[in-house]
Amino acid sequence: MKLIFENEEDRGDGWSRGGTASRAPAVRAVAAGSVGNLVEWYEFGVYGYLATVLADRFFTPAGGSAAEGLVRTYASFALAFFFRPVGAAVFGALGDRIGRRPVLIGVVALMTATTTLIGALPTYATAGALAPWLLTLLRALQGLSAGGEFGGAVALMTEFAPPGRRGLYGAWQSFTVALGLLGGAGVAAATATVLTGTQLADWGWRLPFLLALPLGLVALWLRAGLEETPEFREGRAVRPGGAGPAATVVLSAAGRVVGWAAAGYTFLVVLPSYLQTTLHADVRQALLATVPANVGFAAAILPAGLLSDRVGRRPVMLTGALLVAGLAVPLFNLLQDDGTSAVTKGVVTGAAGAVVGLMAGPGPALLAEMFPARVRWTGLGLAYSLSNAVFSGCAGLIITEAVRRTGNVDVPAYYAAAACAVSALALVRTPSHKVVDACG
């Protein structure tokens, strides 16, 4: 396949001219794109927050080790992420060829169906060894749909964005990721608080997954009423078909967001299981401790996206990456210290979430601006899903296993800091594509 290398002259997407995006129904586009992300990340968050319960129900036969069961649970979690690049390629190719609207409808329908089915699965006690395989199959299907969701939603929102507002509009994707994770944390924490431990383990864990059904139906209704984006219509008329995104541009884009991927999952999703298995907090304390991190994350995203419209994507994201690289170890040391008050721990985790928000806010627009409209869904979807497959999907598995083998409780901090250092290096390199630093 011939590869397209993006440059200023090859854009052909109307953004440099202002285009017709300002005349598009942008509000509905943001709502329709955002609600699908919310459903996707709500489920991924619930799975991470209830990992210890799922490990016991699906991956720990009688007499098995709880730590080994948790590792298997995170292996299933990671597998779904490795299906994301496949979903990004398949759904991205369809979305770049036949349109944003129909493919986004199919993606959210698949995500809703698989999430709901998880809530109805038989456990190991009922189905034996078949149970973990069924859960893993549904996780793989979720990975396919999630791989298609990000690229399509970001393409939709940024292509409808008025001139000078791509950072803010793209940030809505990350903001609804935060809402999904926060919703997952809140629902999981409320379920664990209202029910007894026995009730949660027996049947209560199903409730957060089943709640995805009404959320998904709302997403389907919003997306059914969408118009096609003006840029896609113009691009198809001018240049039907065409080659795929350049592999070098995809890898370059992925390098810029690995810190966002790794730090996000370390601070926002893996933290509850770390607090339970390593620091011996109970499930309620662990879930409640995650809420401030997600609140801080959500609060920082839209301001960071708006700021990137004024000063550029790179400076804002670089600030976030450097802060994580420098402060991750001290942050985890505070969490490990029994003398640290609950209020201080809440403030610390909230600040950690806000720093990740500095990367997540401008991130979608930065990725979208690296690819022309005719390959945008495929290109940015692949870049994002590749970075997430390695650095997000494997975060729980790598951290849990490394702590178990080494006994070093600082492993999560090292993991997040190293990934953010990689992103910082990628961001400070002289960009080969001028659009990377576009401010809208």
pLDDT in tens, 170-186: 999 899 888 887 788 78
Q: What is the mean pLDDT of residues 334-363?
A: 89
Report the Cα–Cα distance between both ends of the chain, in Å, rounded: 31
Residue type, 116: T
Residue type, 283: V
- CA angle, residues 390, 391, 392, in degrees to nearest 5: 105
Residue 398 banded pLDDT, cuts 50, 70, 90:
confident
Ordered by start, the domain boundaries in the chain are 24-437
Helices 130-160 and 166-194, interaxial angle, to 10°? 150
In the predicted structure, residue 24 carries a pLDDT above the cut 70: no
Say whether pLDDT at 232 is over 90.
no
Q: pTM for the full model?
A: 0.79
Which of 20-29, 77-86, 126-135 has the lowest average pLDDT?
A: 20-29
Helices 247-265 and 376-391: angle between axes, nearest 10 degrees: 40
Mean pLDDT of the chain: 82
Of the pLDDT bands very low, low, confident and very high (cuts 50, 70, 90), residue 325 is very high
Cα angle value 296/355/343 (rounded, 5°): 45
CB atoms within 10 A of CB 414: 16
Alpha-carbon gap, residue 165 to 171, rounded angstroms = 10
> Beta-carbon neighbour count of residue 90 at 10 Å?
16
Dump pLDDT digits (tens) for 252-295.
Answer: 999 999 999 999 888 887 787 777 777 777 777 776 777 888 88
pLDDT score, position 63: 53
Residue 3 has pLDDT above 60, yes or no: no
The answer to whether the beta carbons of residues 51 and 396 sit under 8 Å apart is yes
Structure tokens of 350? 């909230």
> In the beta sheet, which residues pair with residue 245?
4
- Contact (CB, 8 A) for 146 and 4: no
In this prediction, residue 95 has a pLDDT band, given cuts at 50, 70 and 90, of very high
Contact by Cβ (8 Å): 274, 404: no
Residue 113 and residue 111: Cα distance in Å, rounded? Answer: 6
pLDDT of residue 439: 41
- pLDDT value at position 68? 63
Report the pLDDT value the prediction gives residue 25, as an integer from 0 to 100: 62
pLDDT, mean of residues 176-199 = 84
Indicate the pLDDT class of residue 233, thresholds 50, 70 and 90: confident
d(CA 38, CA 176): 5
Dump the DSSP string for 370-399. Answer: TS-GGGHHHHHHHHHHHHHHHHTTTHHHHH
Q: What is the dihedral of CA 92, 95, 101, 105, to 10 degrees?
A: -50
pLDDT at 18 over 50: no
Decide: 153 and 40 in contact? Cβ < 8 Å: no
CA 126 to chain centre: 32
Question: So what's the pLDDT on residue 55?
Answer: 82
- pLDDT of 410 > 60? The answer is yes
Short-list 112, 144, 102, CA closest to 216 = 112
Give, in degrees to the nearest 5, the angle at Cα 73 between 72 and 76: 90
Rounded to whole angstroms, how far apart are CA atoms 435 and 253? 12
pLDDT above 70 for 240:
no
Tell the CATH superfamily of the 24-437 domain: MFS general substrate transporter like domains (1.20.1250.20)
pLDDT value of residue 296:
93
The reported pLDDT for the residue numbered 434 is 41
